[in-house]
Each structure stands twice: as C-alpha cells, then as structure tokens.
Amino acid sequence: FVRWETTGGVAVSDENAVSTMVTVLGNGTLRVVGNVKKLEYAYDHENPQSQSEKAGHIDAVRFTPFFSGQLLTARYYMYYLSSYQSNTFTVHVMDKGWDDLITPFNVTPTSEGWFDVDLSSHNISVNEGEDFYIGIEWINNYNPSLGEDRTNVSYRSWHWDEVHWDAEEYSDFMIRAVAGTTTPEIVVGVKAGDWAGYGDVS
C-alpha cells in the first residue's frame, strides 16, 4: 500500500492509512495506489434507531460494488435483542431482481451492535457496477430489532411486505457488505450519494 488519492467531492479521513473512511459528497474519483484487499460498503452513518417488522417481512439494502470480487461478509446492526424470545432471523443475499443468489439461512446474534455473518464459503461473486441486495427476514413478529439510520438518507433501503418491494424514503437500514478483491491499482469514478465505507488495502 502507498496511499489513497481522491479528486472532486470524494475525501478520505487519512490518505496514508491502510484502513480509512471514504466519504462521497459530490462527483469525483477514488484511486488506491497499491492492491485492494477488501472493502466495506456502508450507506448508513451509524446513528442507530430501532426498526422491526412482522414475520415474513424483509428489509434489504442495495449495494453497488466499486470493484469485482467475492462477497465475504454481511453485517447487521442489531438493536434491542430479546431475553425471552428467539432473536433468530433469516439472511438473504439477492441479485438486482431480488432473486436469492444462495439458499437463505438462519442466524442468531448473541449481542447488540454489529453482527457479522460469514459468507465466504458461499463463493458469491460480485461485479463492478452490478447491484445486489443483502436482507434480513423476520421469523418472529417484531423481534429482533435492526438498526436504522435517519441521517442523510441514501435511498438504498427497501422493504418487502410479502406482496411487493417498496423503497424506504426516510431511513437507511443498517446492513453493510464486505467484499474482497484482487484488483491491482484502481481508479474509480464516484457520484454523489453512491457510497461511503471503509477500505482495507495491502
């Protein structure tokens, strides 16, 4: 790793750090001098409030990868875990048409805060500029709670009510994706509202 380079409305918190926060305020470019190891795609600002749904409903976030690679981790911000009923939910990884890329499976968080689900064994490829979704489906009514962030909404969150998908206009569901890549030196064009996240470089 050498450094991060930005132009226009793209900024990094530390251009010389291996891990840095990238903020997109306008059109510009992000260039990493070195080899990208993995990127965490994040559309929320980590200001959680509680969000829950009825059993069978799904909340999901739409991700647009900057680079092609493999999906490694789904991250969910868990809020208000119950001490008297199951906190298990179903993980969905879907393509741009909301079709499941893998068989949905159940997980159970053990503490509040960021809960990581390992997806590396599923060999899910993601492609530069090609949307995919990560979702949470409720098994039990209104439990557990997912974090939602109402700060500078990105309009990338969606809700399934067992009939159709609707865009969420007032908040960002706190679901993130971590993707790996072996791409060498990269220059990427970025538009306002596209993405903010962490980059790890080796």
DSSP letter for each residue of 66-123: SS-EEEEEEEEEEES--SSS---EEEEEEETTS-BSS--EEE---SSEEEEEE-GGG-
Q: Are 139 and 55 in contact (CB under 8 A)?
A: yes
Nearest to 131 by CA among 106, 102, 156, 150: 156
pLDDT in tens, the chain (202 residues): 678 888 888 888 888 887 777 777 778 877 777 666 788 899 998 899 999 999 999 999 999 988 889 999 999 999 999 999 999 999 999 999 999 999 999 999 999 999 999 999 999 999 988 999 999 999 999 999 999 999 989 999 999 999 999 999 999 999 999 998 765 444 444 444 444 444 444 3
